[in-house]
Amino acid sequence: MAETGSARPATAGAFDRLEVALDRASPIPLYYQLAQHLESAIERGALAPGDLLGNEVDIAARLGLSRPTVRQAIQSLVDKGLMVRRRGIGTQVVHSQVRRSLELSSLYDDLAAAGQSPATRVLRNEIQSASAEVAAALGIPEGRDVIVLERLRTTHGEPVAHLCNHLPASLIQADTGRLRETGLYRVLRAAGITLHSAQQTVGARSATDREAELLDEPAGAALLTMRRTAYDDHGRAVEYGTHVYRASRYTFDFQLLVRP
């Protein structure tokens, strides 16, 4: 009965304006294709902040998808903080511009993405037996062999950070040459180690004399510190790092989402 026909100007959502072409032959899941389309539409402004997307049933019908599939796509954007759902209202693009949230990428990637042309000086790359602190952080017996990496990260010739990492020696062979050109996490990834999570602690303290010299800061300058243990898929600790950053040249930016 309630056949609305072709005209439906009533509660048209912003989704109408989009041209979404799904490829059912692609190995990429449909919900993921849709999510990518929506995200890129937001990025290029085709979906503006505050826009109502339009209801899920219509979108599903228009795309020839089932509603759960459409929901899965939208939900992934909600989880990213790009959209907000409201019962009785609809789904809208979030008003505030969302900055990229902190990911589990290496500092190298962070800097490269920011166009900072990072470089690395490897100060130390050797095998030692694990101290009590390192053993506890990595969850291995004290005295077990670990790779100790000490590096100085610079951008445009200026030092940014002093990085000290410990890895179980059984994991990889740390190639100093490769570590000069890229980040530790890329080396791990290339070795088939997929990171899963990391526990980080960020703090501050005054620079030691050696740190001040390495980082080209005055004695006793305030530095930003970060201690991190990274875990792989199996929950095994893969890396323990204690890093020190020049506070004048580096901060941690991240976005928090309230879990509903």
Residues that bind DNA (CB under 7 A): 11, 27, 29-32, 53-58, 64-69, 71-72, 85-91
Residues 29-38: contacts with CB within 8 Å, 24+ apart?
A: 30/65, 30/69, 30/73, 31/69, 31/70, 31/72, 31/73, 31/76, 32/73, 32/76, 34/63, 34/65, 34/69, 34/70, 34/73, 35/73, 35/74, 35/76, 35/77, 38/73, 38/74, 38/77, 38/83
Q: Is 201 in the site for its own copies (CB under 8 A)?
A: yes
Candidates 56-64, 106-114, 126-134, 250-258; binding stretch for its own copies (CB under 8 A): 250-258
β-bridge mates for residue 205, sequence order:
223
Q: How far is the CB of 247 from DNA (least distance, A)?
A: 40
Q: How far is the CB of 90 from DNA (least distance, A)?
A: 4
Q: Is 196 in the site for its own copies (CB under 8 A)?
A: yes
Residues whose CB falls within 8 Å of the CB of residue 59, separated by 6 or more in sequence, listed in order: 13, 15, 53, 65, 70
Binding pattern for the stretch 23-62 against its own copies, x by CB under 8 A and - elsewhere = --------------------------xx------------
Q: How far is the CB of 76 from its own copies (least distance, A)?
A: 9
Binding pattern for the stretch 113-142 against its own copies, x by CB under 8 A and - elsewhere = --------------------------x---
- Counting residues that bind its own copies (by CB under 8 A) gives 52
How far apart CA 109 and CA 107 sit, in angstroms, is 5
Rg (CA), the chain: 24
Asked if residue 206 lies in contact with residue 221, where contact means CB atoms within 8 angstroms, the answer is yes
Q: Is 112 in the site for its own copies (CB under 8 A)?
A: no
Give the three-class secondary structure for 200.
strand
Q: How far is the CB of 182 from DNA (least distance, A)?
A: 24
Q: How far is the CB of 56 from its own copies (least distance, A)?
A: 16
How far apart CA 69 and CA 87 sit, in angstroms, is 19
Asked if residue 163 lies in contact with residue 180, where contact means CB atoms within 8 angstroms, the answer is no
Near its own copies by CB under 8 A: residue from 64, 204, 213, 216: 204
Give the three-class secondary structure for 6.
coil
Q: Of 17 and 95, which has the nearer Cβ to its own copies? A: 95
Q: Is 247 in the site for its own copies (CB under 8 A)?
A: yes
Residues at the contact surface with its own copies, assessed by CB under 8 A: 49-50, 68, 79, 81, 84, 86, 94-96, 98-99, 102-104, 139, 194-206, 220-225, 231, 233-237, 247, 250-259
